């Protein structure tokens, strides 16, 4: 038997006059496996997430656009997709659709597991724990759901063998559909015709036991 845990870490500047990107917290995490008999601990996964502190930016008079744009191209795209131009709130259509009021944003960057531990819903349980630990006060958790490419191993700091071998377009689509099914088990819903999915954080997410029992829902329409 084995026990699994996640260890998260972040850092933040103490200087009062930093860059706008200082209102984005970056989190990295390691998923560990402890052998219940020997006590040996092994790293079996990695996770990365971001939190955009929109409320703090508002209090400081910092533009959310500048916060996102100064951090990365991905947050620039998410700002355009999610937020009112020049404002601090989510677009009214999104706020109504997801019935959310908080404007902070949690971005799930990636979860990657060693091949031995796939197929056990460990990735989904990791996502749930990250949302529990980091999502308080956020309106939405958002993720671009797609399999990582094999050449990304250095970027995410895992062995090359942890990432899938080069796949053709059909295999990548099948892998993407598979991942999206399991994210929908937690309540993630697709943002229009984009590859992003969003989870409203004012709703009760399934427990770990419920996630382990759930069958994946029907496919999305093709992108």
- Rounded Cα distance between 63 and 75, Å, is 13
- pLDDT tens, residue by residue, 119-132: 778 888 999 999 99
Q: State residue 180 phi and psi, 5-degree precision.
A: -65, -35
Report yes or no on 144 lying in a domain: yes
For residue 208, give both structure tokens.
């770990």
pLDDT grade for 113, boundaries at 50, 70 and 90: confident
Span 12-25, average pLDDT: 87
pLDDT grade for 221, boundaries at 50, 70 and 90: very low
Mean pLDDT of the chain: 86
Span 11-19, average pLDDT: 81
- Rounded Cα distance between 93 and 98, Å, is 9
Most confident segment among 2-6, 24-28, 147-151, 216-220 = 24-28
Report yes or no on 221 lying in a domain: no
- pLDDT tens, residue by residue, 129-173: 999 999 999 999 999 987 666 666 666 677 777 777 666 777 777
CA within 13 Å, CB half, 189:
12
Q: State residue 97 phi and psi, 5-degree precision.
A: -60, -45
- Domain of 121? 2-213
Report yes or no on 80 lying in a domain: yes
Coil vs helix vs strand at 100? coil
Quick one: CA dihedral 16, 19, 23, 25, positive or negative? negative
Q: State residue 134 phi and psi, 5-degree precision.
A: -110, -10
Q: The domain that contains 91 carries what CATH number?
A: 3.40.630
For residue 215, give both structure tokens.
């069958």
pLDDT grade for 222, boundaries at 50, 70 and 90: very low
- pLDDT tens, residue by residue, 161-214: 777 766 677 777 787 787 888 788 888 999 988 889 999 998 766 666 776 666
* Number of domains making up the chain: 1
Strands 189-190 and 138-144, by their bridges, are unpaired
- Rounded Cα distance between 132 and 127, Å, is 9
Tokens 């929109």 locate to: 54
Is 220's pLDDT higher than 50?
A: yes
- Rounded Cα distance between 62 and 20, Å, is 7
Report yes or no on 192 lying in a domain: yes
pLDDT score of 185: 82
- Number of CB atoms found within 10 A of residue 156's CB: 17
- pLDDT tens, residue by residue, 51-61: 999 999 999 99
């Amino acid at each position: 038997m084995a026990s699994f845990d996640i260890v998260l870490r972040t850092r933040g500047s103490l200087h009062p006059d930093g860059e706008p990107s200082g209102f984005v917290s970056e989190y990295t995490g390691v998923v560990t496996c402890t052998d219940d008999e020997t006590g040996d601990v092994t790293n079996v996964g990695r996770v990365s997430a971001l939190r955009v502190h929109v409320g703090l930016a508002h209090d400081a008079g910092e533009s959310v656009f500048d916060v996102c744009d100064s951090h990365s191209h991905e947050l620039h795209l998410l700002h355009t997709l999610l937020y009112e131009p020049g404002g601090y709130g989510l677009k009214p259509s999104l706020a109504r659709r997801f019935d959310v009021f908080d404007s902070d944003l949690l971005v799930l960057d990636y979860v990657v597991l060693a091949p031995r531990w796939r197929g056990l819903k460990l990735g989904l349980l990791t996502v749930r724990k990250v949302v529990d630990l980091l999502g308080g006060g956020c309106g939405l958790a958002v993720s671009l759901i797609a399999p990582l490419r094999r050449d990304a191993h250095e970027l995410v700091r895992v062995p090359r063998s942890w990432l899938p071998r080069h796949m053709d377009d059909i295999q990548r689509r099948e892998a993407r559909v598979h991942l999206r099914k399991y994210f929908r088990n937690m309540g993630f819903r697709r943002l229009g015709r984009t590859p992003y999915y969003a989870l409203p954080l004012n709703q009760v997410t399934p427990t770990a036991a419920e996630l382990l029992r759930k069958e994946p829902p029907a496919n999305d329409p093709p992108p």
